[in-house]
């Protein structure tokens, strides 16, 4: 998720990136597909995709034979949302802030959130994760799947890639700030979530980490 020329994470900055964003979505596709596989949303689930952007997650979800009856994509940028395209009946997008989502408590079974958390300051990430917890409530089916850029530092190749992602994100925050590697495990736990699945995807797109978690 190259983020273009501006170096902020404001609604206006994302409005300015909306035209260019779809050109790099292929680099997200493998991680999004893994995220949907472990989220496994079915017709019985109500899904919210936080920071849905141009709708990469919603479109991948719409192509699955098993898909939720309702899905809501939330994003603060109206221009990113304008690129989402047609969605299945009873799915919709909502302009809103992931830190204060304009949806009720406990009426969501699955939250997905791809390539948002690494853009946020730690206190904002905490707010988004607590908001996720509020949306999910405590039903046994409740689950969150998050995708972030990451490379496993346990191998020499992984350390190299991790350093390169970090270096690029720091040196060119305007263009590559979205590549800042982040493992949100500790922050998920601090927000009252228990990570249950973890998939590392070092190749075939942005090096990424996919985590599924449930409310504690």
The span of 35-43, 95-103, 153-161, 187-195 binding ligand SAM (CB under 6 A) equals 95-103
28 binds ligand SAM (CB under 6 A): yes
Distance CA 64, CA 41 (A): 10
- Quick check: helix, strand or coil at residue 50? strand
The span of 76-84, 131-139, 157-165, 167-175 binding ligand SAM (CB under 6 A) equals 76-84
Residues between 178 and 197 that touch ligand SAM (CB under 6 A): 178
**x-marked contacts with ligand SAM along 129-168 as a string, rule CB under 6 A:** ----------------------------------------
Q: What is the dihedral of CA 88, 143, 146, 62, to 10 degrees?
A: -10
Choose, by CB under 6 A, the member of 34, 36, 45, 53 that binds ligand SAM: 53
- Quick check: helix, strand or coil at residue 159? helix
56 binds ligand SAM (CB under 6 A): yes
What are the structure tokens assigned to 5, written together? 């020329």
Element holding 161 (H helix, E strand): helix 156-171
Nearer CB in complex with ligand SAM: 56/165: 56
Q: Which residue is nearest to ligand SAM (CB)?
A: 53
| Half-sphere exposure (Cβ direction) of 158: Cα atoms closer than 13 Å | 13
Choose, by CB under 6 A, the member of 47, 60, 61, 116 that binds ligand SAM: 116
Q: Identify the bridge partners of residue 202 per DSSP, sorted by sequence position.
A: none
Choose, by CB under 6 A, the member of 67, 84, 109, 114 that binds ligand SAM: 114
Contact residues for 104 (Cβ-Cβ < 8 A; gap 6+): none
9 binds ligand SAM (CB under 6 A): yes
């Amino acid at each position: 998720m190259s983020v273009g020329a501006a170096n902020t994470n404001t609604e206006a900055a994302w409005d300015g990136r909306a035209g260019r964003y779809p050109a790099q979505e292929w680099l997200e596709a493998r991680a999004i597909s893994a995220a949907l596989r472990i989220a496994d949303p079915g017709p019985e689930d109500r899904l919210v995709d936080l920071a849905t952007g141009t709708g990469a997650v919603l479109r991948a979800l719409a192509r699955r034979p098993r898909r939720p009856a309702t899905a809501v994509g939330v994003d603060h940028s109206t221009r990113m949302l304008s690129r989402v395209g047609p969605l299945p009946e009873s799915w919709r997008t909502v302009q809103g802030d992931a830190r204060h989502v304009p949806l009720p408590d406990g009426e969501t079974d699955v939250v997905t959130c791809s390539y948002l958390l690494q853009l946020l300051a730690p206190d904002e990430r905490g707010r988004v994760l607590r908001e996720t917890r509020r949306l999910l409530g405590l039903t046994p089916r409740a689950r969150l799947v998050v995708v972030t850029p990451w490379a496993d530092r346990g191998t020499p190749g992984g350390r190299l890639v991790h350093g390169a992602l970090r270096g690029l994100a720091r040196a060119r925050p305007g263009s590559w700030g979205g590549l800042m590697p982040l493992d949100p495990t500790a922050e998920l736990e601090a927000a009252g979530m228990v990570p249950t699945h973890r998939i590392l995807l070092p190749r075939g797109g942005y090096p990424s980490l996919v985590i599924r978690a449930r409310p504690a």
